[in-house]
Amino acid sequence: VWVDEFEAMGLADCVDTTWKRAKVQFTEGEEAVCLDRQYGRVDRRRLKKRLLDGCVRSGVLFHAAKARGVSHTDGWRSCLQCDDGSELFGCAVLDGTGHSRALVEFEGEFDPGYQGAYGVMIEVEKGHPFELDTMFFMDWRDDHLEDDPDMLARNASLPTFLYTMPFSETRIFVEETSLVARPAVPFPELKRRLVKRLDKLGVVVKEVIEEEYCLIPMGGVLPRMPQRVLGLGGTGGMVHPATGFMIARTLGAAPLLVDGLERELARARGEAAAALPTGTPREEVLARVDMGEVTARVWEGVWPAWRLQQREFFNTGMDILLRLGIDSTRSFFAAFFKTSTYNWQGFLSYRLTLVELMGFGIEFFAVGDWRMRRFTTVSALPGLVTLIQKLLTSGFSRQVGITEGADNGVRWKRGEGGNFSAEMRNSLADKEKELPRMTADERP
């Protein structure tokens, strides 16, 4: 993750290793591009413990079973059916099951691109060529494939890059990654390319400590909005369609979703109680609550119009990347990282509004070479036509009463070095103070 994103959410203690900068290499002999932005590795166990401890402190009850289905028994209650035969009742169901799409319903056929990666944490015998204070974000060189014409040709049409995190003089994590393809580049092909790359770099593997197979669906249709089941993370459409990043977007959206649900429940319950005689039993008040309306407002808070516009723009970026070979991919990212720090960081971190993205697109086109301009112009046209059609027909608007500003607490303000941490923390703290809270007796 980018360290500033986790610092902004107060999760810096869940990053176990950091690198001062990231680096991108396009061809052999060409000077690498240095990205002056700290990168970090998330300690998954520490983050999980942090989140679970918060659940325990808040009185969350756990039930160990697999969810098999959900039904909505009346206007305000939902029933979750489990594989152990039990049924759990509540006012709302939140689906965080990744891309299984078990409970959340989608607008149409799910046809994403796929980011595939094969990686290993290894101990090496004779050292390695990587700088310990720099992570290799992208290495697009292909000279290691010159002795295998078939693989070189496959890489020319379906390019992959090396992603590297050095931990010591003898321990590194290396990963061969296909940024996006449809269908996915097979794992055996990724592994073979990685082996040839390590041979070229003179890296001799002493021990494989961990092995990673990664397949991330990117883009595709969003969940149907609104619907009674709420979605977060992969099942909520929060994977960046052009990069595969998700964790910061999901962790940033979680409090918006939960606070929005609590706020809307309190509002709906108050309206229902006001329409009934004083002293009406709690169950009768809750029976008047329309959870369909409540969850519609929550969906809108998580996916306001500007977020939908942003995602459509990112989908256009993914469509371009799906069409690029190795040479045009290099030209694409050479131009991408020549744009302003505000723009390329904002694009990677889900921060730019549609207007800002249009400005990014103009700058991107201006700094790119002729190859990039030609390919992106041809490849982007279908997506841009769709984007314009949706704007003209208000295809991004679901008029359910939530303003776009519901998500502004995690927006990035332009500033020196792109440091938005303090502003984001303060904004979220102010939002926390403003939210109405239900007491234990008031909770459904």
Assign 102 a pLDDT band (cuts: 50, 70, 90): confident
Full-model pTM: 0.84
| pLDDT tens readout for residues 151-169 | 999 999 999 999 999 999 9
Higher pLDDT, 125 or 374: 125
| Joined tokens for residue 318 | 């993914």
The candidate with the shortest Cα–Cα distance to 238, out of 247, 226, 228, 230, is 247
Higher pLDDT, 359 or 376: 359
Assign 393 a pLDDT band (cuts: 50, 70, 90): low
Indicate if the pLDDT at residue 413 is higher than 70: no
pLDDT at 96: 92
pLDDT at 426: 39
| pLDDT tens readout for residues 200-221 | 999 999 999 999 999 999 998 8
| Helix or strand (DSSP H, E) at 108 | none
pLDDT at 396: 59
Higher pLDDT, 234 or 401: 234
Distances (CA, A) of 299 to 68, 232, 367, 424: 23, 10, 38, 22
Question: Poorest-confidence range of 130-139, 229-238, 400-409?
Answer: 400-409
Per DSSP, the residues of 110-143 read: ---EEEEEEEEEEEESS--S--TTEEEEEE---G
The candidate with the shortest Cα–Cα distance to 309, out of 405, 402, 394, is 394
Assign 339 a pLDDT band (cuts: 50, 70, 90): very high
pLDDT at 410: 33
Question: Poorest-confidence range of 8-12, 60-64, 97-101?
Answer: 97-101
pLDDT at 389: 74
| pLDDT tens readout for residues 247-299 | 999 999 999 999 999 999 999 999 999 999 998 998 899 889 999 999 999 99
Q: Is 417 left (phi over 0), alpha (psi -120 to 50) or beta?
A: left
Assign 73 a pLDDT band (cuts: 50, 70, 90): confident
User: For tokens 């969906």, what's the residue?
Assistant: 299
pLDDT at 376: 76
Indicate if the pLDDT at residue 69 is higher than 60: yes
**Cβ within 8 Å of residue 89, ≥6 positions away:** 73, 77, 78, 79, 80
| In the chain, % of residues over pLDDT 90 | 73
| pLDDT tens readout for residues 109-119 | 888 999 999 99
